[in-house]
């Protein structure tokens, strides 16, 4: 899918993991039109559900022979977009993708199974839930890889405005996701204020003093810039640059920035706050910028932003997307290594350093159930 043509107040402004807040059930699902017992009939399948299965071949992998996260993001975005369009009945574009935590790596010869379905439809946006697992064909075992929540915006023909039909959940699981979708949407909109509050009220402490590694790396040494020319194979069925392709390119430059800090081969563990702010088309140039924002004892955050411009002489550039990615470096036993200390750049670099610490606190709080 591509990016929305314009920013609206209904767009998801940031990303969040699966929430289990008590307030999630505050907004109840609409009543069903038919008796519930008929809905629970055996063989029921959600009308928006899309399934995708992909065999992992060497072309899809990184230097370790594991499925590239960039390739996985392409498949996730494709399945989610098809699900959104199945409900909307018109083209849909990616507005944002919530936090994604990767639990396992996937190897050559294994099969990736992706299931996507719409959780809730708002005025002109939809939340799509995506479950990813992988299957070993030799022993038949399956493992969960990650769960993602993506927000899409329906695109009608100008000047007409899209008003999506409501989604009526059928099963208990669908009703829970329907209710929590509203809470996730509320917290996305409040995320920037949450970050500001943490920075203001909780002074960030440096971890450098307690670090076993005494190596200090200036943040500017991790900076990466890379340009891509958008060609027809990079465009989706609507003519915009495929959102999954943009996310894959972002993962690539983020990995290079992380590698420059650790001088090794980092593993991507978390993606946070994919936020598409505008479209790009065939013939545009995309400029990708990545830098390590903060390095903690066993993990580092890399910030990535994407700008678009029409030709080399064009001065003004359009902000297309931004995201934050968390990497770790594993030793031979699969345990995280201690990372060098990062020296942030003065000014804007110090702001990014503090915000990265605030985002880490939010991630830790969400895992331990402390967030409300």
Q: Hey, which bits of 277-365 come out as E strands? A: 285-295, 300-309, 318-328, 341-343
pLDDT digit string, tens, across residues 255-305: 999 999 999 889 999 998 788 988 899 999 999 999 999 999 999 999 999
On the question of pLDDT at 24 being above 50, the answer is no
What does the chain come to in residues?
372
CB 358 within 8 A of CB 204: yes
pLDDT digit string, tens, across residues 159-213: 677 899 999 999 999 999 999 999 888 877 776 666 666 566 655 555 544 556 6
User: Could you give phi then psi for residue 327, rounded to 5 degrees?
Assistant: -120, 155
Separation of alpha carbons 18 and 22, rounded Å: 13
In this predicted structure, what is the pLDDT of residue 215? Answer: 85
Residues 6+ apart with CB under 8 A from 327: 254, 255, 258, 262, 266, 267, 268, 269, 299, 300, 302
Nearest to 128 by CA among 76, 189, 168: 76
User: Could you give phi then psi for residue 31, rounded to 5 degrees?
Assistant: -65, 150
Share of the chain above pLDDT 90, in %: 60
In this predicted structure, what is the pLDDT of residue 8? Answer: 37
pLDDT digit string, tens, across residues 43-82: 788 999 999 999 999 999 988 889 999 999 999 999 999 9
Separation of alpha carbons 65 and 249, rounded Å: 19
Residues 6+ apart with CB under 8 A from 113: 51, 52, 53, 132, 133, 134, 135, 142
Residues 6+ apart with CB under 8 A from 118: 46, 48, 83, 84, 86, 87, 126, 127, 128, 129, 167
Nearest to 268 by CA among 201, 216, 317, 323: 323
Secondary structure class of 227 (helix, strand, coil): strand
Nearest to 224 by CA among 251, 252, 257: 257
On the question of pLDDT at 31 being above 70, the answer is no
**How many CB atoms neighbour CB 285 within 10 A?**
17
């Amino acid at each position: 899918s591509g990016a929305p043509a314009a920013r609206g107040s209904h767009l998801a402004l940031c990303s969040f993991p699966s929430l289990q807040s008590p307030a999630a059930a505050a907004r109840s699902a609409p009543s069903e039109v038919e008796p519930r017992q008929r809905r629970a009939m055996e063989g029921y399948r959600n009308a928006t559900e899309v399934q995708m299965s992909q065999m992992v071949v060497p072309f899809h992998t990184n230097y370790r022979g594991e499925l590239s996260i960039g390739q996985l993001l392409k498949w996730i975005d494709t399945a989610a977009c098809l699900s959104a369009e199945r409900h909307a009945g018109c083209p849909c574009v990616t507005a944002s993708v919530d936090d994604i935590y990767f639990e396992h790596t996937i190897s050559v010869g294994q099969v990736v199974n992706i299931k996507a379905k719409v959780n809730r439809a708002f005025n002109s946006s939809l939340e799509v839930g995506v479950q990813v697992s992988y299957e070993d064909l030799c022993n038949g075992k399956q493992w969960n890889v990650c769960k993602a929540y993506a927000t899409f915006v329906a695109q009608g023909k100008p000047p007409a405005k899209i008003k999506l039909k409501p989604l009526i959940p059928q099963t208990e699981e669908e009703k829970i996701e329907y209710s929590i979708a509203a809470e996730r949407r509320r917290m996305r909109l409040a995320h920037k204020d949450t970050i500001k509050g943490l920075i203001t009220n909780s002074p960030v402490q440096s971890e450098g003093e307690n670090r076993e590694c005494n190596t200090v790396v200036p943040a500017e040494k991790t900076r990466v810039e890379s340009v891509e020319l958008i060609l027809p194979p990079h465009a989706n069925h609507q003519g915009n640059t495929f959102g999954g392709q943009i996310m894959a390119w972002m993962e690539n430059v983020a990995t290079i920035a992380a590698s420059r800090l650790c001088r090794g081969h980092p593993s991507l563990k978390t993606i946070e706050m994919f936020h598409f702010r505008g479209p790009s088309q065939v013939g545009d140039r995309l400029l990708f910028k990545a830098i390590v924002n903060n390095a903690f004892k066993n993990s580092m955050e890399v910030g990535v932003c994407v700008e678009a411009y029409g030709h080399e002489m064009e001065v003004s550039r359009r902000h297309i997307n931004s995201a934050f990615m968390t990497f770790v470096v594993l030793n031979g036993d699969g345990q995280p290594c201690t990372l060098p200390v990062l020296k942030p750049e003065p000014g804007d670099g110090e702001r990014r350093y503090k915000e990265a610490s605030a985002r880490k606190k939010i991630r830790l709080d969400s895992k331990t159930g402390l967030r409300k």
